[in-house]
Amino acid sequence: MAVPSRNAPWLRATGSVLVAGVVIASTMALQPARPARADTSTLLVASDITDAKTMDPGHFYEFTSNDMATNAYDELIHFVGTDTAHPKPWLATDWKVSGGGKVYTFNLRHGVKFASGNPLTAADVVFSYRRLLYLGDNPSFLISGATDISAVSPYTVKITLSSADASFLSALADNNFGVLDSKLVIAHGGDDSKDAAKKDKAQSFLDSQSAGTGAFQLTNWTRNSQLVLQRNTNYWGPRPSLAKIIFQNTKGAATQRLLVQRGAVDVAINVNIDQQAALAHDTSVQVVKGNTLDLVYIGMTLSPKISKPLSNALVRQAVRYAIDYDGILKGLLKGVGTRPNGMIPVGMLGNDTATNNSLLIRQDIAKAKSLLTKAGYPNGFSATMSYDVGLTFDGVSYDPIAAKVQNDLAKVGIKLTLNPEQDSLLLPAYRAQKVQMILYEWGVDYPDPNDYAGPFSPGGGPAKRMYYTNNPALASLVAAADTTTDTAKRIADYRKVQQTWLQESPFIGLVQPQNIIVLGSNIKGYVYSPVQSHNVRTIIK
């Protein structure tokens, strides 16, 4: 939904409006609005971009890289606004599913050009998806089920899967499926063969400029400093009003809030709940709050070598019962967000509100102590929890949550040492399976429960990081839920997955936050999406 224009210089409407899951807050105050910046062609976005490691769609799996790709690349299909149930044609004009749900055939839009001027053809889609698959990096799981990716004609692509996949169409809207200019990428060392992991040399090139069909083109990435995107003059869609977008590295929610208030930036995307509250009567800004499909969670290792106590399922249950969830959501987060029972967001298929509420675990100190005694730790134990220092994710600040969890666990004898780290250090350690406990986040890849059930069950990426690998029955259940086309069966299967998680999983879902985006009062045309909330290509200044 677009944020309404606010052109009246003195009077502002009062109240808040909730439409399609998005809250647009406005206030009334008799004070001058912030004057529009003289340079109306450049959008300055305050963002913490320190997580970025690469801008290559075949490799990246970080938030900042996704923000870039949201504006510089296009996929075959797309989710528009808050509708996450019905994918829309994008680079593909239409598609059909055949072969018992295993064959997807897409007809491409004619007349589309890459930023280089090269025309889009089926060969570019084939190259992009084969490269994504054979690079074998973090995002390759998105297309790991493909057995054949081929061009039926210059404008028709066929993807054959090893088995039916009910979530595959939704997954194709993920930014890692942004279509690359194959001629340009090959000229800079790109490779889509089965040996691409060894042969491909295009990452450094794609770190310096994008090779997509999107409304903008990446022209500069200075690590930990800024991302610069220029208007793509060959864009196939409506011409963007903006000529340039700059994501400038700005750490700290308070700093971002002050910058957008003063007019030094146009958009702030890491403002937390407390800082947002400070904007309640400021007419120089617009505050957009939208429901997300993201999660803030705790992970615990199952490796006895890393933590013998946490490898015990009874201990993990004790931790689950020791946490004051209401204190986190209603206290620290002032009720801004939703509490999931586990690792599938509320409102997703298989976890409607009634189901979620029936599965919620409440804090029970006596039960937590009893479980610890039964596990052989009547006096508790010591552990270390790592988390991103100073991070604000969808308005949620991690430092107070970490302190709250530390205090909660102390009540049952668990002595928790906090280890705040920069994400550039924490994420590699997490991926290397080195952390005992972690407070972290999961951003939606695509709006389907498989995007959560798969990764957080045995065999999934985060599950492996916590050594959660030994439950073939659960892995089979997750696979069955994703291969059936029977919606009722999918719902039943995902409910069983959640029930199993509550008994043994190393993951605890803490909150499903709302996203907070702060815009200058002169900004128009922003469209909120829980899948691509930092898509700013439609903004008008």
pLDDT higher than threshold 50 for residue 509: yes
CA distance 91 to 275: 39
- Secondary structure letter of residue 360 according to DSSP: P
- What CATH number did the domain enclosing 114 receive? 3.90.76.10
Domain limits for position 338: 295-512
Q: Which helix (H) or strand (E) holds 262?
A: helix 253-262
Domain shared by 84 and 13, yes or no: no
Domain shared by 135 and 171, yes or no: yes
In a domain, 59, yes or no: no
Domain shared by 134 and 35, yes or no: no
Domain boundary among 145, 176, 208: 208
pLDDT tens digit sequence for 108-159: 999 999 999 999 999 999 999 999 999 999 899 999 999 999 999 999 999 9
Phi, psi of 57 (to 5 degrees): -60, -20
What is the average pLDDT value for the chain, to the nearest integer?
92
- What CATH number did the domain enclosing 361 receive? 3.10.105.10
Q: Which residue has the tokens 């952390």?
A: 435
Domain boundary among 163, 182, 208: 208
CA distance 167 to 143: 11
pLDDT tens digit sequence for 413-436: 999 999 999 988 999 999 999 999
Interval 373-391 mean pLDDT: 96
In a domain, 58, yes or no: no
Domain shared by 270 and 362, yes or no: no
Domain shared by 404 and 462, yes or no: yes
pLDDT of residue 392: 86
pLDDT tens digit sequence for 222-260: 999 999 999 999 999 999 999 999 999 998 999 999 999
In a domain, 56, yes or no: no
Domain shared by 223 and 324, yes or no: no
pLDDT of residue 29: 33
**How far is C-alpha 330 from the chain's CA centre?**
23
pLDDT tens digit sequence for 463-480: 999 999 999 999 999 999
pLDDT tens digit sequence for 335-366: 999 999 999 999 999 999 999 999 999 999 99
pLDDT higher than threshold 80 for residue 35: no
In a domain, 60, yes or no: no
pLDDT of residue 21: 40
pLDDT of residue 424: 87
pLDDT higher than threshold 80 for residue 1: no
Largest Cα–Cα distance in the chain? 69
- What CATH number did the domain enclosing 219 receive? 3.40.190.10
Cα dihedral across residues 496, 497, 502, 504: positive or negative: positive
Q: Which residue, among 337, 325, 327, has the nearest Cα to 361 in the 3D structure?
A: 325
Domain shared by 240 and 385, yes or no: no
- Secondary structure letter of residue 210 according to DSSP: -
Domain shared by 478 and 541, yes or no: no
**How far is C-alpha 299 from the chain's CA centre?**
17
pLDDT tens digit sequence for 95-111: 999 999 999 999 999 99
In a domain, 83, yes or no: yes
Q: What does the block give as tokens for 202?
A: 């295009």
Domain shared by 120 and 224, yes or no: no
pTM: 0.82
Domain shared by 257 and 321, yes or no: no
Q: ∠216-220-223 over CA atoms, to 5°?
A: 125
CA distance 424 to 404: 24
Domain boundary among 208, 224, 242: 208
Q: Where does the pLDDT of residue 38 fall: very low under 50, low under 70, confident under 90, or very high at 90 and above?
A: low
CB pairs under 8 A, 24+ apart, for 303-306?
A: 303/433, 303/467, 306/433, 306/434, 306/435, 306/436, 306/467
- Give residues with Cβ within 8 angstroms of 227, minimum separation 6: 49, 52, 64, 67, 68, 218, 220, 221, 245, 246, 247
CA distances from 536 to 42, 138, 167, 227 (A): 11, 26, 27, 14
Domain shared by 184 and 133, yes or no: yes
- Domain count for the chain, please give it: 3
In a domain, 493, yes or no: yes
Domain shared by 78 and 13, yes or no: no
